Chain A
Amino acid sequence: MKRFYFLIIFIVSNFQLQAQINYGPRITAMGGAGVALQDVWSAQKNQAGIAGLKNPIISAGYENRFGVKELSTQSAVFAIPIKNYALGASFQSYGVDAYNEVKTGLSLAKSFGPKLLAAINLNYHQLKIDNYGNSQSFSVEVGLQYQAFEKLWLGTHIANPNQSKYGEQTEQIIPAHIQFGASYLFSDQLTISSEVEKVLDNQADFKVGLEYKVVKFVALRGGISVNPFKQFAGFGINYEKLNLDFAIASHPVLGYSPQIAIGYEF
């Protein structure tokens, strides 16, 4: 019965507003252009990417927006490859007690041969606003990655194609987007990736980023997005099985948004 109500909610409601998905510091530092990258944070970005992982990885991060304490996100991701499959889980919590948005995701990814990765992801959304109430919803994401030739990966990701919503009472929506892009390995040290994104009822955006490994265990990253115009930078340190990543995003008017994540590869 509950599911039936959800379905009704999916179909009836038509309010829109942008919510924020945290892509983790590595992808964020590359301008968010991560649709064709393979990372544990692909569980939040393009779930097909987790099928490219070799070992189980867990990572947890914290992001603050524009120096405002209330605008922070805690998130965690986990991915485990099992033969041709990979399972992923993601969790993110945004806001404070008075206003809180939680997204929990489970994904299943599969590699069809070495060149094609595909995934499907189910999200459970919870929205809580003090003195107002709670709402829940589900949404679906699908992703694809294809290795066109040795150094070039192409990726596509679609989120919430059926435009599910929290309900008639809330204006808060779950964004529907389509992203596609490419990443190219220029050398062992250098990766450049780019992405075009269209969020429904929003302007299209173009993002580009690069990652450069100064030495084997230190990577520097930078990127931009053009609409809205933002600049990104960050670094990652990989010490044996531990990963520490940091990113900062700069908006010309609103200011800086730093984030950090620590990961462990089993």
Chain B
Amino acid sequence: MLSFNTVYAQQTNDPIIEYIIESIVDNQAEDFDYTELVDRLNYYRRNKINLNKTSREQLQELVFLNPLQINALLNHITINGKLIDELELQSIDGFNLETIKNLLYFAGINTPSGFENFSFKNLFKEGRNDILIRYNRYLEAQKGYSPGSTSRYLGTPERVLTRYRFAYSNNIQFSLNVEKDPGEKYWNNTNNQTGPDFVSASLYIKDLRKLKKLAFGDYTLQFGQGLTLWSGLSFGKGADIFTVAKQDLGLRAYTSVNEYSYFRGVATQINLGKFDFTPFVSYINLDAGIALNPITNAEDISSLQQSGLHRTNSELNNKNRIGQFIFGGNLQYNYKKLSIGLTAYHSKYSKNFAPGNSLYNKFDFTGNSLNNAGINYSYTLKNTYFFGEFAHSLNYGFAYVNGLISSLSPAVSMVLFHRNYQKDYFSFYNQGIGESSTAVNEKGFFGGLQIKPSRKFELNFYTDLFKFPWLKFRVDAPSTGYDVFSQFTFAPNKTTKFILRYQFQNKQQNAANQIFVNTLEFVKKSNYRLDAQYQINKNFSLKNRLEIVQYHEENTNNRFGFLAYQDINYSPLSSKLSGNMRLAMFETDGFDTRIYAYENDVLYGFSIPGFQEKGIRFYTNARYNLKRGVDFWLRYSITKYNDQTTVGSGLDEIQGNSRSEIKAQIRFQF
């Protein structure tokens, strides 16, 4: 029998959180902000979940538990009563030591929770405040800031984030984020824009009598499998094969700094026995590009802009250019192992969407109002969890998914997932699983296996076949492709781990050499990755990675990409100082063979930069605990390219062959 009472130091690089994130965010864009997830995991690390009082939804927030494990845990408590000892977890189906170790990192069996001792006196006495200020900038001068050039950034080159959190137990949370990106002004006062570039605030209250949740300000909504309505954080296909079964969290406060995909207004979740009703209303201004419609002579929306960058006059002009009004509701029925949800909402825009002018976007949404409705289900039968959603955009197309997770034996779990998204299915908050980033114009079938014969070995394997019935950007015909993924993990002991990963993708795109007619060709991409992690002593651990990408278009030579890095982590249990550093070398034949790698950052910071061309990357990252409740982080990174005289493009261009960044962060907790 093992004991789980390990003491963890607070460190900049949290290996458990890092592992969780890297296993699920594989296919995300590199500039996505995962603060919300890192924040959430860090929050539960400090305010542990009480497993005896927890809910399905709270367990889902931990993202690494799959639906079958959650069911098994809740079922165990229902049948056997409260957990008395943490060792009891070992007797639950689907819980191996790794899962239990991860779970107990964020949860316990006796931790206090709820409004049990609430009073306003306690609110301010026991409430926790958290203020964090982060500053970062490139050290080299970029073209957009040079005084001479005609088109230039209006603001200053640093990024500054200020965030404030107040939390009382798990029940009252207030969040405020104020941010400016590089090139943006601290205070906008042009084009009817006044104030800081990005401000987001939310007040979130949980378990107030019948009101399970109540959110004012910015919030996100996630229902079903993400076809009808899913905003904010979302995962696709990744090393964790279970992420294709989305675990919806319903209403949540929005605490991230992605300047897109959230709502602003009021929403609440009311509990009525077996039913939960979540009505919501939101009005928000969105960034959009505008095109003049030649027929009506009115301004049409040519594109919605998601970058949240407002650095130049034209970007500022597009800021908050259109209004979006949304209202609707979700009704959820939960009974034992069955859950059925109905979601419907109406969205209205202050301008029309312009009709697509290319063949590939012929079926895109036009007009200014849209009604969406969807029904989702999940059901557990013995060792199998069934899930799915059927969604319809009224007067337009359909989309549906169906899938299952089955634990075939104690060592083997299987995932099957089928999807069909019509080419004229529209939802502005659609994050269904697929090869494309949005669930439209795609059919596919995913099959995955996870084999864990013992604590030492783990094999994850999936294949995914996809078809695009209509044209896509740069694919001038209906096309098809497939994905094969396998990852083998070997952990000979508690402090050593090897991960071997192989991924192969074959899909069609326009042929490189077009003569009269665009034809398609198959493009093959293979990824080979080897990770080695080992702890040298109590203070030091090392990690190596080797990754090779092979990219092949028909009638051209193979192109290769190569990345190798060495990490050193220093995280002593009882020192005020901790930190880590990495030296990486990369060499790729251009953009198609670029390689992404997760990097450690200051707390809540997050980055998965992509490397291309040839060069060296170095970063170092340190945290210092000044005194109780005051922490300071410092990060320096530099990328040095061989054979290059400039770095970056457009207004971001730097003269010279290297780009370096400094990042400082201070946090006060009281």
Contacts and interface: CB of A to CB of B under 8 A. Distances in A.
Contact of A190 (B408, B481, B484): B408
B408 A231 contact: no
A226 B504 contact: yes
A226 B484 contact: yes
A229 B408 contact: no
A212 to B, nearest CB: 5
A229 B482 contact: yes
Contacts of A231: 445, 447, 463, 465
B449 A229 contact: no
A185 B447 CA distance: 20
Contact of B408 (A210, A226, A252): A210
A222 B463 CA distance: 12
Interface residues of A, number: 16
A224 interface: yes
Interface string A236-253: 000000000000001011
B507 to A, nearest CB: 10
A187 B451 CA distance: 13
Contacts of A253: 480
Contacts of B467: 252
Interface string A57-75: 0000000000000000000
A190 B383 CA distance: 13
Interface in B433-492: 445, 447, 449, 451, 461, 463, 465, 467, 480-482, 484
A107 B56 CA distance: 57
Interface string A168-196: 00000000000000000011011010000
B111 interface: no
Interface in B393-415: 406, 408-412, 414
B151 to A, nearest CB: 46
Contacts of A189: 408-409
B78 to A, nearest CB: 26
A208 B461 contact: yes
Given A231-B447, A231-B465, A252 B412 contact: no
B457 to A, nearest CB: 12
Interface in A191-220: 192, 208, 210, 212
Contacts of A208: 449, 461
Nearest to A194: B461
Given A210-B414, A252-B467, A186 B409 contact: yes
Given A226-B484, A229-B482, A252-B480, A186 B465 contact: no
Contact of A229 (B411, B414, B506): B506
Contacts of B445: 231
A229 B445 CA distance: 13
B408 A222 contact: no
State the main secondary structure of chain B at its contact with A: strand
A119 to B, nearest CB: 30
Given A190-B412, A192-B412, A229-B506, A224 B463 contact: yes
Contacts of B481: 252
A252 B482 contact: yes
A224 B504 CA distance: 14
Most chain A Cβ neighbours within 10 Å, of B408, B412, B414, B465:
B408
A192 B484 CA distance: 18
B480 A186 contact: no
A200 B445 CA distance: 31
A192 B506 contact: no
B463 A226 contact: yes
A192 B447 CA distance: 14
Contacts of B461: 208
A4 to B, nearest CB: 47
B96 to A, nearest CB: 15
Contacts of B465: 229, 231, 250, 252
B408 to A, nearest CB: 5
Nearest to B406: A212
Given A224-B447, A229-B463, A231-B445, A212 B480 contact: no
B480 A192 contact: no
Contacts of B449: 192, 208, 210
Nearest to A208: B461
Given A224-B463, A231-B465, A252-B480, A212 B408 contact: yes
A252 to B, nearest CB: 5
B504 A192 contact: no
A252 B166 CA distance: 53
A189 B382 CA distance: 14
A242 to B, nearest CB: 25
Closest 9 CB pairs of A and B: A187-B409, A186-B409, A190-B409, A190-B408, A229-B482, A252-B480, A224-B463, A186-B412, A212-B408
Interface of A: 186-187, 189-190, 192, 208, 210, 212, 222, 224, 226, 229, 231, 250, 252-253
30 contacts: A186-B408, A186-B409, A186-B411, A186-B412, A186-B451, A187-B408, A187-B409, A187-B410, A189-B408, A190-B409, A192-B412, A192-B451, A210-B408, A210-B414, A210-B449, A212-B408, A212-B414, A222-B447, A224-B447, A224-B484, A226-B484, A226-B504, A229-B465, A229-B484, A231-B465, A250-B465, A252-B467, A252-B480, A252-B481, A252-B482
